[in-house]
Structure 1
């Protein structure tokens, strides 16, 4: 059932198809009478347990798509939205293709070509500068002038969530706060708030075309976006891996975003952002009531990587 405010969809829809893969919003693909296709996102009802950063996700996603479209990135067009009131929603155009991890086998040559194309797209998105640092949606309030202030607030919030929900972490919350604070000085080297997606794993990259001639059909699910350090995007782009090993992506990125030297500062910042993402992944299993097998997967696969990231910082 669609929100009443989404009248153009409710009145003209001829087909509805629930989409899987999302873990927070309810997502539906609809076909309208004129043949156009939209994707409609509806957040959980008010009062549903959630992490603090998950408030205002739809607004942040709309901000990401509008900003990325300004540099011709293949992102959905926001066609209708309501961010306040009793029935918030986001309706956007559907893009061609399927999620990368569902596209089937790729040859080494095809994968290399796709990673270079993706690098060019991400590099172009990173040329977009924001008005300040942080999450643009509520309850965060106005953007702040420094990346250290913004990122400290972000990590403090997820650690507060960990305590509130009794999340299973591999180290005490106070110790994690101390390690993150001990490396916060490196954040002062980031002076320009870039457009960061922060969820660029292959499930949010659409691949389109026939085998052997596939290209990037779109970048979707920008709901975790923020204005910050572009280096932060490299964490999900190499989830559980090392972006330095992805020579094809880095070659494409260098064409549009400029060359990137993986010096001590960049590697230290990457460890901070890995820690932040892994904290989110470990804490969210509680309010989202993940099944036991997913909870155990997080404890087995994510928790050691959080420990590794914190070890890199304290070392």
Structure 2
């Protein structure tokens, strides 16, 4: 996916990064040592073959001059912190960080190296799998998500703090930031921004049911799951994590919108019973948050292809209908 947030670097700069991370003896010769991995939507990622023929991945954060959405500020720092939390507190497989650099000496952004994961991307290959195989992986994803959610925080919100004492205050700030981002760029939603704010205000009392901050990956879609031989080999891309309500996780989104698939296998693996009435109200707010981001981020990323924008606009009609609001 093409995006102006992808901070591509010259081969000479990449060689300097390799030397700093692995030593000059690992800087590759020749031309056939570098390939950009085009699946991501935010950071640029390169698959690099070192001189000893081992493969690694380099991720580079967006250029410092590019305007990103409020919740995306410091995203690579969030990813590094999340990788540490998951590795130290769960059995969920995540990539090892070989080297991270936040000094901005070689380029104007954070970057880090990790080993290349020799496995299939679940989101890419899922249509080639049998229904039973997809269910197996989705159940495993549900179980992994629950284990990640077992990590407790001291406040709601950013991993680095200071956070909010209540989930209601935190979520209102989060979704308020997204709406402010959209208004700043005059992104057309198909609904008046103040109408959406009224919908949020009228439905937020259900948030008070959440009293314990838990680690929420939030971006744990099948496209961030690496699989092989019936098992999850690694969970990748952790830059959107925060402390909040586990019900906000991606796997629950299909409870509200059929366009996201069938949530049954994920929920079975997670061990979650059918949602209560209050949980369903919370879940609708979380789906609204997601779809607003999916619409607004297309402007911030400079997409020239309107496919995601158009698709997300249709989903917003469906979400607003869940709140009893007709399309305008």
Instruction: Give the TM-score normalised by the residue count of structure 1.
Output: 0.86
Q: Partner of 1:47: helix, strand, or coil?
A: coil
Runs of 4+ in 1 over 6 A off after TM superposition: none
Instruction: Supply the distance in 2 between the matched residues of 1:285 and 1:245 (Cα, whole angstroms).
Output: 26
Instruction: Supply the distance in 1 between the matched residues of 2:122 and 2:27 (Cα, whole angstroms).
Output: 28
Query: 1:1-315, aligned counterparts within 5 Å?
Result: 1-2=13-14, 7-9=20-22, 11=24, 12-14=26-28, 15-69=33-87, 70-83=89-102, 85=104, 86-103=108-125, 105-136=128-159, 142-209=162-229, 214-234=230-250, 238=254, 240-241=257-258, 245-254=262-271, 259-294=272-307, 297-299=308-310, 301-313=311-323
C-alpha distance after superposition, 1:286-307 (max 9, x if no partner): 121101433xx422x2123223
- 1:55 deviates by 0.7
C-alpha distance after superposition, 1:218-260 (max 9, x if no partner): 1111112111110011457649438894332222211xxxx33
C-alpha distance after superposition, 1:256-286 (max 9, x if no partner): xxx3340111111111111111111111111
Give the total of aligned pairs.
301
Q: Partner of 1:129: helix, strand, or coil?
A: coil
Q: Between the two structures, name the one with larger relative contact order (CA 8 Å, sep ≥ 6).
A: 1
Instruction: Supply the distance in 2 between the matched residues of 1:91 and 1:207 (Cα, whole angstroms).
Output: 20
- Of the structure 1 ranges 245-254 and 18-27, higher mean CA displacement relative to structure 2 is found in 245-254
Q: Is the 8 A contact 1:117 1:216 kept in 2?
A: yes
Q: Partner of 2:284: helix, strand, or coil?
A: helix
Unmatched segments (≥5 aa) in structure 1: none
Instruction: Give the TM-score normalised by the residue count of structure 2.
Output: 0.83
- 1:52 deviates by 1.0
Unmatched segments (≥5 aa) in structure 2: 1-12
- 1:205 deviates by 1.1
